[in-house]
Structure 1
Amino acid sequence: MTIWVLAIFATIQLVSGGALWFYQRSATIDLFEQRLLERAANMAAEIETSLPDLDESALDLIARQELRYPHFERYRVDVLDADGRSVVYPQTRWPETAPDLARRAIAANTHLRAPVVDEDVGFFVSEGASVEAIALPVTGRLGEQLAIVVATSDAFVARQLALTARVLIAGGLVGLIASAISGWLIAGMAVDPFRRLSGVAGQLTPENLDREIVVESPTTEVSALTEELESARERLRSAFAVQERFLSNISHEIKTPIATLLTEAQTINKSELNDEAREFVEVTEDEMRKLGRLVESFLTLTRVREGSGVTRPRRYPANELVMDSLEDCQQMAEQYAVRLNPRLASGEDAMDLSVVGDPALLRTMLNNLIRNAIRFSPKESRVGVVASQDDTTFVVAVDDEGPGIPPEVLEHLFDRFVQSRDEVRRERGHGLGLAIAKGIAELHGGDVVAENRPEGGARFTLTLPIEAADGSGVATDADHRAYEVADADH
């Protein structure tokens, strides 16, 4: 936009500057010719009264008096007869232009002008200037027909035009700089609302569709565009809400059949079955568990998305939350031959350090992070779970020694169904665990961020606001029982 302002200003300046220059040129030349005619006419009147006794000194005196103005710096004046001979000086001092001009003026009985080109006029002509000659008819006392011829340099015109050009160039440069600054400011003010709208639109995700789009601007166009974006956001939010409700309803509907099939599979006496039938029951039982965990993941994610997850907020001792999650994940760590390496928050206030929320959701959140780290850790490696207090925030860092997070996945790691290519190929998990963990953290006023460690592996940092110990009670073991959810893959 700044370039457009500069281009428009430059075009206007060129047109207006060119018009002004031509006008100034025409006005200056007209003024010069008008003054030259006036001065020549005055000299002609005085010469008529002085003839035939006019001599060189008298003519020079008349010329100095009439041509003393700065318009005429250098000049030559003479009086010629009809044959082009000087009646003042002993010999003609003029080039061919002057006698010819005098003869024609006498014959026409009016003043005539002519430029003197490539002829010696007897005085210095500055660079860029030219010589102008004018002849006026004069009648002597005895009735003889004469003509006064004045030749002068138009250096005055050249200086005025050069000054005008310098002023226009200087003004143009100053104007360009001023227009560039003005254009930059105007462009910034005009584009800023659109830039903010673009930023807001770029940040829209299924997780933040509940956030209203508000961009204040006095312009009607920006307000109309803001309303359109807000209307589109509302339509998307409604569509996602319908999708979430459908997913929740379907999950509830198939939860009971899954539980029934799983119970039936578990109650079958496998000792009475042949090998093929036993394998079928075990596979069925395993698949029903996976499907059950997926359904629970959908239901938990729906609760988090609807913001209705914290139905029974309780105080939960922070270190106890970590220990409970470690206990939940210990069996999986043994299966993967990974050692859990915890470090609890320490200090004088560590015993009273608590967070407030739904105990089941809190354990689900931390379980997902730890299980995710276990899954990506090589055998005989360690998963670090380090708890600490940072002012009013409880921080848990979960480190693994795995391959780290691919750059193309890191940006969208907490979106639903996001998995690395390796995990998709192995058909492990569903890509919901990290989305659930982040959603639960945000629901409790916290957050989860992921990064690659310089020494290798990934680090997931959980932050939750701390609740001061106020005797409101600690959740019981029953309250702590978490949902079994599918782990996310990075």
Structure 2
Amino acid sequence: MFLKKIYNFFQSFSIRLRLSLIFVLIFGATTVFFNMFLFQMMIDTLQQDFDDALFNYCVDVSDGIEIGIKGDLSFPPLRLDHGKILPFPLGTALIQVRHSSGAVLARVGNFGEFNPPYKKDFERIWKGEEATYRTIEHIRNIPSAEADSYRLISFPLDNAAKPQLMLQIAVPMTLMETQIQKRLTLLQLGIPFVLFIATLGGMFLSARALNPVNNIIKIAKEIKVTELSKRVPVPNANDEIKQLSLTLNEMLDRIQQAFQSQERFVADASHQLLTPLTIMRGEMELLQKTEKRDVDQFIKSALQEVDNLSSIVQEMLLLARVDAGIGALNLEDLDFDELVFEALARCEKLAKSKDIKLKVTINNETGEEHKRIRGDNDLLTNLIVNIVENAIKYSPNQEVVSVTVNHGNENTELLVEDNGPGIPEEQLPFIFERFSRGSNMETRVKGFGLGLAIAQKIAILHNAKLSAQNHSGTGAKFGFEIKNI
């Protein structure tokens, strides 16, 4: 819960600030850990140099100690070698010789109550170590201690397999402590300063990187319904922002086309709806002026126009349902042949009125029981009815309209062919648009130009393909292809 609150708080920041914080966090963590690693290596190196100098000093001291036959020691006054530079002051070194029993045989320097440990050092030397080192911190028992910590070396004096005498020297680590403290202070001041510079740099770079996005936002806000031709700028760099700009422009293209299509649709629908209403108004005005007008003829004409209005409204409602998308579909497993026969039954009356024969052919390429499809029964039936009725309307009287169903392994195909005049080449690209009809056929063929537009929408909703083309001779051919389940 706590982490979620932190995450939500972080998400409330702007992208620029979030990018800067992430950059500083990664850079800061890397810098801190890397400097900690270098700092530890530096301490180890200083410690090794300090121990090497202390070892050399210990060897020099041990060379001046003479051990008699009876174990007595000759411990002459120490001479300072001014030719050497050591990381500790020689005058403050504490030196003593100790027996394995713990007895202190000789001492140089003011030890006070300081009693260096020795038992584990003897054990390590007996195991073969050349010398042992340890750091003694927070010295309190040494009078006038020169530093907070001393470095203690224990070195064997006799050459026995198990040495019994050990030289111990404790020296202050003043110089090493000073060097470490200076480097630590430099890191404590330097790292925050570097992170501060990195933060400013991150803010600057993120602002530069997001400038194209801000320009896109600015232009997008300025695009209104009346200015859909505007497009967001596309940067030269081949990056994600360029892809975003191109994607937004493609979306704006689709929105502009949709608005233009909607405007054309409203204009055409208004014209189609206005025509029967104008006719009905004229009939009613004429009836009002002419007392001897045949009322039955007026009613017949008015009913015909009402039927036209009802057909337009039904087709527009169906088109609105199709425009609602896949959420408006009632999907189920269907037998495509049954859909075809149901649609042909609805087209039979129109075919008989023109004495047109409907020829049905069903081909099963698989040789087995044909597969079913998945879709909306009413919409698919409407699609088949629309393309079959279209073929009947544009076919001359006493002709044949061929309806062929091809069952494949993966797809089912429907072909509807007529022997009419075909589709004008200039109209072919727009045949599936709303209210699109061939100008030379408008006066001879009854319709409103919505059927094929509805059929194409239904095909798209079912991830199917609806196409139209002309025969090499006369007539048109419509093809509908849908996947099997």
TM-score tier, shorter chain, comes to 0.3 to 0.5
Q: Bigger relative contact order, structure 1 or 2, given CA contacts below 8 A and separation 6+?
A: 1
Give the alignment's TM-score, normalised by structure 2. Answer: 0.43
TM-score, scaled relative to structure 1: 0.42
